[in-house]
Amino acid sequence: MTFSELDKTWKKVFELAWEGNLPIGAVIVDQDGNFLSCGRNRYIVSKRFPNCKVDHAETECIQELDIEKYPDLKNYTLYTSMEPCPMCIGTIIMSNLRKVKVAAHDAWAGAADICIQNSYAQKKRVEVEFADDLLANVQIALQGSVELRNNGTRSEVYKSFMEMYPLGASAAFKLFSDKLFADLTDITAEKAFDCVVGILEA
Ligand SMILES: [Zn+2]
């Protein structure tokens, strides 16, 4: 699998991930696959808010959706490269979106289980579907490498990635130790994706 073989929605998600400063991207599509809104994670430096900690891809994507123009939320799908955190899953539930597709489980902050466990959320019937292992491991490698760079090998987040996705987390360690993608702007999303797939398949 190369970037050029991805379907156009996942391509867009990984391109958006690369625009953030923590590589997580999200997009909302209609039933025909048209892009309606997009978001990227700016958890480290925000362009939108004084408080970068809550500038997340999925929440941005929903906040930026023009619901006058696109009111049919129950029939749209939100794609994201990482399982939404409690804030983002809450925003998804409150937005009336019903379908979510995710590349990787987030063993650290993922909160998709709120959709099943919370009585209010249950009424909204949000379906969360996870993609195949390759996309998941690419996401874990990209995000894990940034986590290692920011917080080092003792990072609890990285350890949680290693427990759930040892292949992706090992690729993250290689990216980190080889100092690849030290600056996310050094390389395009496509090249980064293909580089990670090469490491995963080696
Ligand atoms: Zn979030």
State the burial class of residue 85 (Cβ atoms within 10 Å of its Cβ: 0-12, 13-18, 19+): buried
Residue 143 pLDDT grade (very low, low, confident, very high; cuts 50, 70, 90): very high
Give per-residue pLDDT as tens, 59-77. 999 999 999 999 999 999 9
Beta bridge partners of 79: 27, 101
- Residue 105's CB is within 10 A of a number of other CB atoms, namely 18
Distance (angstroms) between ligand 1 centre and the Cα of 107 equals 13
Say how far apart CA 16 and CA 195 lie, in whole Å.
17
What does pTM read for this prediction?
A: 0.96
Compute the distance from residue 62 Cα to the ligand 1 centre, in Å.
11
CA atoms of 72 and 111, how far apart (whole Å): 25
Each residue's pLDDT tens digit, 31-42: 999 999 999 999
Instruction: Report how far ligand 1's centroid is from the alpha carbon of 200 (Å).
Output: 26
* Distance between Cα 201 and ligand 1 center (Å): 29
Instruction: Give 198: exposed, middle or buried? Use CB within 10 Å, 0-12, 13-18, 19+.
Output: exposed
Region for residue 24 given its phi and psi (left: phi exceeds 0; alpha: psi -120 to 50; beta: otherwise): beta
Ligand 1 center to residue 202 CA distance, Å? 32
Question: What distance in angstroms lies between residue 43's CA and the mean position of ligand 1's atoms?
Answer: 9
CA of 94 to the centre of ligand 1 (A): 14
